[in-house]
């Protein structure tokens, strides 16, 4: 639920005080990607702890954050169509990466786990905080979340495009269903298929930040 806002904020429909927290969190994530992970690799623990502290302060439980299954048949059909399309493109262009079945299965599991983490950060944290920031501009919340999601993938232009579109769709789905488990699975499956079908000349091995320049 949106936090209480002052009369000046109500007039503009923007709760600027509530916007400070996600702004700082976004800056910390960018700093981690570009510098901290090479010098303080465990700094992500501090960032995650601050997010968890924010949820505790707002008394947000697991179900409220979206840690539940609540996916309609339509969502599964859409995921199937996306997966089929990526596979078809890889087959037509003959760009499939050579991986073993064991390696593929392990990669899918890891991608889904990492996808759940990213969907929690994107939706469980940022979408909820941006909803507090823009309580009267709900249509802008998925756009703002998607833009931030895209920017953390700099300078990988391919991933920035994918995450801008995917982040917007996921944020819209989350606001309607609040289902992080499905979104994490969809993120993981889609991410793995992109890794499998898109050559490194385009995807840069899905690297972001300074690692992108190593390709």
For residue range 24-63, list pLDDT tens digits in order.
999 999 999 999 999 999 999 999 999 999 999 999 999 9
What is the three-class DSSP state of 137? coil
> What backbone phi and psi angles, to 5 degrees, belong to 41?
-60, -20
CA Rg, the chain, in Å?
A: 18
- Rounded-to-integer distance, Cα 34 and Cα 151, Å: 12
For the chain, which ranges sit under pLDDT 70?
A: 1-12
The structure's pTM equals 0.91
Tokens of 126: 């940022």
- Provide the pLDDT for residue 136: 86
- Provide the pLDDT for residue 5: 46
Cβ-Cβ contacts under 8 Å for 114 (sequence gap 6 or more): 188, 191
- Provide the pLDDT for residue 122: 98
């Amino acid at each position: 639920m949106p936090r209480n806002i002052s009369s000046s904020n109500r007039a503009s429909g923007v709760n600027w005080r509530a916007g400070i927290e996600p702004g700082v969190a976004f800056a910390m994530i960018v700093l981690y990607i570009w510098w901290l992970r090479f010098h303080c690799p465990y700094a992500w623990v501090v960032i995650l702890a601050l997010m968890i502290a924010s949820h505790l302060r707002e008394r947000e439980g697991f179900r409220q954050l979206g840690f539940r299954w609540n996916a309609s048949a339509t969502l599964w059909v859409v995921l199937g169509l996306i997966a089929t399309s990526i596979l078809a493109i890889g087959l037509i262009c003959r760009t499939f990466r050579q991986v073993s079945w064991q390696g593929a299965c392990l990669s899918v599991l890891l991608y889904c786990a990492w996808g759940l983490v990213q969907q929690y950060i994107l939706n469980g944290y940022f979408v909820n905080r941006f909803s507090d920031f823009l309580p009267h501009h709900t249509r802008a919340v998925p756009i703002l979340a998607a833009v931030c999601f895209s920017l953390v993938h700099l300078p990988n232009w391919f991933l920035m495009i994918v995450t801008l579109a995917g982040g917007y769709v996921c944020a819209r789905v989350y606001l309607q269903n609040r289902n992080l488990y499905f979104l994490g699975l969809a993120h993981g499956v889609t991410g793995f298929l992109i890794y499998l079908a898109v050559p490194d000349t385009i995807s840069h091995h899905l690297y972001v930040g300074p690692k992108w320049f190593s390709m």
